[in-house]
């Protein structure tokens, strides 16, 4: 484990080290799970913009899916999606395979 | 160049804010502070300041807006009172921990309930652990002077903490007083430019403020705040003395009045110290009672060392509290007594004036006499008593 900064090495009021949330897996908080229908998805990236947890996976301008390690299931993406391509499904009704089924 | 003006406490703080010309002010009205921002809004409307004035929907939002602006590198001010301060509570701590040098006149007023809009110190006493520096003003002159000095204190690189400039509701906020003001340029030269290089708008050196810090880092941030408060002691003194050179009105952490040969001394905050000084003069002249007054101007950081020094030869000390820490007594009393633990003589606590109840010259005189009787009998009892409560 890397050595932690000491008090006087830290900038007052600012973040000590970047990525403070990276080690905190909030996916287990989820009750409802966003599942993207890639038949409808236009890759407009609105879900990527509005996601408060940066849990929308994107590569080369295309949405790849949701990072379920961090997605808390807030549902903002589903409400904002202009193509109506994201559905919130009850977590307990989903198998891991069905979730992964959203990948394009 | 200085000018003598007739101003209320609200006017004097607003006039100081005008001369400070902050980049951003966000505010919400609450009696008895409303007039202050009313006045400042007029300066904005008349083009007397360049301030971006944000009218928000609550005090919680007012404090949030100035925190954001401060982190973006702006010099920021707001003002509030009583329940308005209470509504800011959550963000008070965030302002201090994000090290935002916000300057905020607080017009001291009772907290509900029962609903009461008059003076006491319940509001700012409750906020004493929020991490803000607190300066208390005896009169409108001090409200003006403290507001200007607060900018320098808050922004000092060894400090960088928000400052509350406390002034008594109605007793000062709505009372006209003749006071001395500096010209705009003098004030501008005194406060200088605000620079916060590590700000949110500096895209070359992007920073995040107030983000997550867990068990591994939170404590170090808090120790930084504690250190900054310790640093503030010398900064408040240094700036107070520099201001004295500029204006002829020097300031310190405490103001002792006729304490040198005093048998009894009253310690307290704000406008009541003016009453106490007059009562001390009267009793010395009319009854030969050697009374003194020790005004605490800077309550946070608490000047314990300086206070012990000022009280070291005083046989009998009384502390006036215009607030109650329920289940304990008066907050100022307990801090004074705690600071004097190693050298303490007997002390008594007098709680008075809640909800704006007047403390008359006679009341102040009676408190001095109570102290004198306790000094003679050697029994400082009861420790806590309430001045003028019907029971």
Question: pLDDT tens digits for B309-351?
Answer: 999 999 999 999 999 999 999 999 999 999 998 777 788 999 9
pLDDT at position B360 is 93
Q: How far apart are the first and last CA of chain B?
A: 53
Q: How far apart are the first and last CA of chain A?
A: 37
Segment B259-292, tens digit of pLDDT: 999 999 999 999 999 999 999 999 999 999 999 9
User: Do B2-247 and B254-386 agree at the fold level?
Assistant: yes
Does B297 score more than 60 pLDDT? yes
Per-residue pLDDT, averaged over A74-94, amounts to 94
Q: Which helix (H) or strand (E) holds A37?
A: none
Residues of B in contact with A18 (CB under 8 A): 208
Q: Provide the token pair at B196.
A: 């916060």
Phi-psi region of A75 (alpha: psi -120 to 50; beta: other; left: phi over 0): left
Which of B157, B210, B215, B216 is the best substitution to test chain A (most A C-beta atoms within 10 A)?
A: B216
Class of domain B2-247 as given by CATH: alpha beta
pLDDT band at residue A103 under the 50/70/90 scheme: very low
Q: B221–A18: do the CB atoms touch at under 8 Å?
A: no
Does B299 score more than 50 pLDDT? yes
Task: Select the residue of B97, B217, B227 nearest A16 (Cβ to Cβ).
Answer: B217
Per-residue pLDDT, averaged over A19-44, amounts to 92
* Short-list B287, B375, B377, B279, CA closest to B320: B279
Segment B148-190, tens digit of pLDDT: 999 999 999 999 999 999 999 999 999 999 999 999 999 999 9
Q: Which domains does chain A have, with CATH numbers?
A: 33-104 (3.30.70.20)
Contact B224, B232 (CB under 8 A): no
Which of B220, B226, B229, B230 is the best substitution to test chain A (most A C-beta atoms within 10 A)?
A: B220
Which sequence spans correspond to the domains of chain B? 2-247, 254-386
Residues of B in contact with A24 (CB under 8 A): 212
Per-residue pLDDT, averaged over A78-86, amounts to 97
Q: A10–B212: do the CB atoms touch at under 8 Å?
A: no
Does B295 score more than 70 pLDDT? yes
Does A104 score more than 80 pLDDT? no
Rounded percentage of chain B residues whose pLDDT exceeds 70: 100
Contact B66, B55 (CB under 8 A): no
Residue in chain B nearest A21 by alpha carbon: B212
Segment A56-73, tens digit of pLDDT: 999 999 999 999 999 999
Average pLDDT over chain B reads 95
pLDDT at position B344 is 72
Does B258 score more than 50 pLDDT? yes
pLDDT at position A96 is 65
Helix H, strand E, coil C: the string for chain B is CEEEEEECHHHHHHHHHHHHCCCEEEECCCCCCHHHHHHHHHHHHCCCCCCEEEECCCHHHHHHHHHHHHHCCCCEECCEEHHHHHHHHHHHHHHHHCCCCCEEEEEECCCCCCCCCCCCCHHHHHCCCCCCEEEECCCHHHHHHHHHHHHHHHHCCCCCCCEEEEEECCCCCCCCEEEEEECHHHHHHHHCCCCCCCCCCCHHHCCCECCCCCCCCHHHHHHHHHHHHHHHHHHHHHHHHHHHHHHCCCCCCEEEECCCCCCEEEEECCCHHHHHHHHHHHHHHHHCCCEEEEEECEEECCCHHHHHHHHCCCCEEEEEECCCECCCECHHHHHHHHHCHHHCCCEEEEECCHHHCCCCHHHHHHHHHHHHHHHHHCCCCCCEEECCCCC
Residue in chain A nearest B218 by alpha carbon: A16
- Please enumerate residues of A whose Cβ is less than 8 A from a Cβ of B: 4-7, 10-18, 20-21, 24
The CATH fold of domain B254-386: Rossmann fold (3.40.50)
Of the listed ranges B51-55, B228-232, B350-354, the least confidently predicted one is: B350-354
Tell me: ipTM over 0.85: no
């Amino acid at each position: 484990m890397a050595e932690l900064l000491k008090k006087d090495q830290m900038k007052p009021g600012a973040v000590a080290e970047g990525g403070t949330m990276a080690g905190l897996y909030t996916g287990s908080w989820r009750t409802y799970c966003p599942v993207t229908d890639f038949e409808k998805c236009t890759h407009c990236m609105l879900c990527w913009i509005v996601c408060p947890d940066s849990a929308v996976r994107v590569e080369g301008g295309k949405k790849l899916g949701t990072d379920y390690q961090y997605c808390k299931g807030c549902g903002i993406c589903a409400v904002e999606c202009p193509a109506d391509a994201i559905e919130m499904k009850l977590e307990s009704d989903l198998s891991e395979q069905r979730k992964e089924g959203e990948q394009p | 160049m200085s000018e003598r003006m007739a101003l209320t406490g609200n006017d004097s703080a607003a006039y100081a804010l005008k001369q400070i010309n902050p980049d951003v002010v966000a505010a919400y009205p609450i009696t008895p502070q409303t007039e202050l921002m009313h006045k400042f809004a007029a300066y904005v409307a008349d083009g007397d300041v360049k301030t971006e004035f944000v009218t928000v929907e609550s005090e919680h939002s007012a404090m949030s807006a100035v925190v954001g602006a401060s982190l973006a590198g702006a010099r920021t001010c707001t003002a509030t009172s009583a329940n308005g301060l209470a509504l800011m509570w959550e963000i008070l701590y965030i302002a201090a921990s994000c090290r935002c040098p916000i300057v905020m006149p607080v017009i001291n007023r009772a907290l509900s309930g029962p609903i009461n809009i008059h003076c006491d110190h319940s509001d700012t006493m409750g906020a004493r652990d929020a991490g803000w520096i607190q300066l208390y003003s005896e009169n409108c002159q001090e409200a003006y002077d403290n507001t200007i000095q607060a900018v320098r204190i808050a922004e000092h690189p060894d400090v960088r903490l928000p400052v509350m400039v406390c002034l008594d509701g109605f007793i000062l906020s709505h009372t006209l007083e003749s006071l001395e003001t500096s010209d705009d340029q003098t004030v501008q030269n005194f406060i200088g430019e605000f620079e916060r290089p590590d700000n949110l708008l500096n895209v070359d050196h992007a920073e995040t403020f107030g983000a997550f810090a867990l068990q591994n880092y939170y404590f170090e941030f808090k120790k930084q705040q504690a250190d900054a408060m310790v640093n503030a002691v010398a900064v408040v003194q240094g700036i107070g003395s520099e201001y004295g050179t500029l204006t002829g009105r020097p300031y310190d952490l405490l103001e002792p009045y006729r304490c040198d040969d005093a048998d009894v001394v009253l310690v307290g905050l704000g406008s009541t110290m003016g009453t106490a000084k007059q009562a001390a003069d009267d009793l010395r002249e009319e009854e030969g009672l050697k009374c003194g007054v020790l005004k605490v101007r800077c309550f946070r950081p608490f000047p314990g060392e300086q206070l012990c020094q000022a009280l070291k030869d005083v046989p009998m000390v009384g502390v006036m509290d215009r607030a109650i820490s329920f289940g304990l007594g008066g907050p100022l009393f307990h801090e004074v007594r705690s600071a004097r633990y190693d050298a303490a003589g007997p002390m008594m606590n007098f709680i008075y004036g809640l909800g704006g109840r007047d403390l008359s010259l006679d009341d102040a005189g009676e408190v001095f006499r109570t102290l004198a009787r306790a000094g003679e009998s050697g029994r400082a009892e009861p420790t806590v008593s309430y001045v003028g409560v019907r029971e």
